[in-house]
Structures are given as structure tokens and as C-alpha cells.
Structure 1
Amino acid sequence: MTSLFSKSAWLHLRIPFSFLLMPVFLFALAVSSNVSIQNALIVFICLHIFLYPASNGYNSYFDKDEGSIGGLKNPPKVNTSLYYLALIFDLIALLLASFNVTFLIMILLYGLVSKAYSHPKIRLKKYPLGSWFIAGFFQGAFTFIMAYVGINNANAGSILNVELLIAAFLTSLMLWGSYPMTQIYQHEEDSKRGDITLSYKLGILGTFHFVALVFGLSSLGFVWYFNRYYNLSTVFIYLSVMAPVIIYFSYWYLKTRKNLKAADFDHTMKLNFISASCLNLFFIYLYYN
């Protein structure tokens, strides 16, 4: 049992990295009409403290990366204690989710898909388009609906709502736009294992162009959504809050055009942090207004 508390195992859970996925939860919270503070807290802890770290740890165990990974610039070597710690975190997430059957089933499905992403017998990660679509769908629309169900203690039928489904789709579109950027500094590491990611297929500059295109489409979608279901002032606030993301992305793109080595871990993490921070602030505003 002592080995389960090794520094290496806990580092690979990358709990602080959950901050980057927080916008999905906050968006679901913002559009919720029957919020239970207790349920919202349980859902937050279930997702960000246990489910996401369990997925991180499980993926790290099978990837055995030697180079930088999301949230860890210099990852330590993995051992079997990480595998069991990740499973324990998965189990705790399931126990926390047991207050709502639909939420529990969705937590279980998310955990299974995240394992299929990296397990050597399935390894969805090696399929560029498939892994991109699945990661964007499950970390986006699926998690948005999952969080909404848990926060509102709702049943499966409650998600058959046009406004809610549009919001869920936009969440995935946002993730489909940003996901290849998280792979841009791992081309060499991924190709060694035979994982031909979408970013690898697109190339470094191609990844920038693809992300700019899909991010632009998702931004237009959010502008339409907030204008349709909220008001014009919400649109302007959304665009203003997202301005730092566009500024930093443009700066990094121009820097990378001059030197492809600028497409590295540090710049990727800065963009992710700026983007998550801006979105978190906006969805908190949306919740209170």
C-alpha cells in the first residue's frame, strides 16, 4: 500500500491539470435551471479530483512517456503503483456518482472510453481522426451532459432539449478545435510508439491552421448561441474575455513560423492556461448573471 503513495504515482495523476477541463463543468453549471449546491460540489469533486486524474494516470501508465506530457514537463518513470492508484480513483468517482443512476452510468462509460484510448489492445490514440473525434466528443458534449445531469440530479429524458443539445455540441466543437494543439509538441514521442495523431498528420503549421479554423467556427457558434438564448451584451462580454486567447495564439503562431521549435511544451501549456482561465471566468459570470 505504501507504494500507492509514491511521489511518481501522484505526479502522474496530474490533478492540477483538471483546471484546463473546468470550463465544461462551469458551462453546464451556468445553463442549469435546478442547481443543487451539494450535487454541484459532488460532481465537481467526482470529475476534477478523481475521474480526470484517474484517466491521466491510466494513460500515463500505458504511454510511459519520456518527454513532456500535459501538466508535466519532466514526467518521472511510471510503475505498477500508478495503475492501481488510477483504478482506486476510478472507483471513488463511481461511488461519488452513485446518487444518480444516469450520472453513474455516464461516469462508467467515460472511464471505459478513456481506458480504450491508451490500452495497448485497443489504443484509440493511434487512429488520428478517430481519437480526435472521440476525445472531443467525450471531453466535450458527453461531459457537458454528464455534468448537467449530476448538477441537476436529472434523468436521461431531461437532456432532450434543443438549447441544451446545442450547448453540448458547441462544447465538443470547442474541444475539437483545441485538441490537436495539445499534441503539437509530442510528434516525435508519439511517432516512436506508432501513435499517428491528427496533429502529426497536419504538421506543426497545419495544426495551427486547423485549430484557427475550427476555433473560429466554434466562436461563431457561441456568438449565435449567446445572442439567441441570452442577449447581445453577453456576446460582447464573451468576445472581450476571449481576446487574450486570440492575441496569444497569434503571437505564438507568428513566432513558430520563424522557428518551428517554438511549438513546444511551454507555449502549449501557456495557451491552454490562458484559454481555460478566460473560459472559466466567462462561465462563472454567466452563472451569476
Structure 2
Amino acid sequence: MRYRVRHTTRYDYASPVSLCHNEARLTPRILPWQKIEATELTIEPRPAVVSERADFFGNRVTRFSVQEIHLALSVTASTALQTQGRPLPPSEVDKDWQSAASHAPRLPELRQFQLDSPFIMRESALRAFAISSFSPGRPLLEAVGDLNRRIFETFTYDPEFSTLATPVREVLRARRGVCQDFAHLMIGCLRSLGLAARYVSGYLETLPPPGRPRLIGADASHAWVAVHVPNWGWLEYDPTNGNLPGERHLVLGWGRDYGDVPPLKGIMNGGGVHELEVAVDVAPIGDGDEGSRQGALSGI
């Protein structure tokens, strides 16, 4: 599959901003199953300073500073990319989940994905919710798949319920939230059992109702989970949709939780109250589309 992703974030301020420093994580990762064909980041007003780096988790970060007085900030990322199906682990690596939990402490690089993080705390309530999927001796992938299914089937998607500050325990109690909440919940369950799990940020191609056109800018960012499979690697699960991510799931980055991979964050001098508008469009493209041509970071 080939896609063009356009992600626009706009801030309108009540009073002038004289200076702002920002980090954008808006360029998808290059992966064995995900190839970046062209990418462009457009920032208005034009920044005085721009640099790029890879963060601790290997995500691509663009740092920029706007040093002129402005009443609005607009950041648009446009990317053309190609995706393929994810590889699946062979059956022989699917050992019981207790073995996987005991395996992770021996690998220091996994420890950070077992411990508490700013948005996810290990709790007895999360373990109690998860444990019915993790009976003794049950294969890891079968157990994680069952937990993934249970979250999908027993929780209600409700964009009015939560904010970034809503604790995972409240999501568990109310049985509702959004994709970010469900990803944090599932990660908290897995870590409470001693397993290594990380947060994946990206996009999901959404399909319009039959007979209805696609609405430009009406898509949204998405979030899901990856669990570490010993002697193989990371396998992704999408608890919001109850499935394994595939070609329609486009990966931006990953970390311990949302706080490691926000699309845009920064500080500013001035501004006062502001209004935020976000528009995302994930559209398939054909082989002849000009968006598939090789590109580079530009427009900044």
C-alpha cells in the first residue's frame, strides 16, 4: 500500500508570541515494512533555527525556533510512504508467558518497557483485569491476543471521556476512552505482569461509510501497542480495533508512553490563551501520483 499523509497543527494565540522553541515528531520511521518516499515539513512563520536529530528511541525529531513576533503557528507535515504487511513470529518462539516475563529482566534494553512511566503505572487492578487472559502456561501470543480482544469488546470508544491527564485506573473503571487510553491500559496490564510493552504512535487509514466520500482532514492520529517476544522481536497489537496492525497502520514512532512521542511540543514567550486545530488526512495514492517521487525535508 502507498499513502500520502498530511498532518497540520495550528495554534492561534490571544496575544503576541515573541519566541517559541518546539520539537516535532511528525516524520514516520523507516522500517523493514515501511519505506519513506518523500517528506516535507512546512512551518509558518518561518523558523530562524532548524535542526534534526534522533531521540533516545530512534524517532526522527525536528527542532525549530520561531524568533519573530507572531499570533499564530502552523506546522504541516506531508509524507508519501509505502507499507507492507508486518512479519509474524514463528510458532516455535511462542513460549508460555511466564517465560517471556522472566526473560525480559536479563536484557537491559527492555527494562525501561517493564517499569512505570509518566503516563503508565503498574497497579494490582490492572494485573487483576489482565490475569484471566494469562492463565499459567498459556502461550504468550495467545494470551496477549486474548487481552487485546477483551479490551476491544468490553471498552467503549468515547472521545468525550478522557484527556491527557486521565489516569489509566479511571479508564479501567469507566471502561471507556480513546486509542491512546486503550494503548496505555494494555501496556499497564502487560507491565503489571512483568512483560515488556511499548507505546506506538502513528496513523490508521480510515474508510468512509459505503457511498460516502472521504472527508479531507477528518482522519486522526492513532496509537497501539507492541509486546516483546523473546528470541524474535516486537509484535504489535491494536486494542482499539481488536486486531494486529497491518499495512493500514503507519508508524510515526514509539516510546514508553505518549509522553515520549507527542507530535508537537514546545515552550513559548507570551501568547496567553490559545486555540488549537489539528487536521489529519491519510489517503491512498497510485503509482503515477506525483507524491511518490523522492523528496527531502524542505519548506522550513
Return the TM-score normalized by structure 1. Answer: 0.27
Bigger Rg, which one: 2
The structure with higher relative contact order (CA 8 Å, sep 6+) is 2
More helix by share: 1
Return the TM-score normalized by structure 2. Answer: 0.26
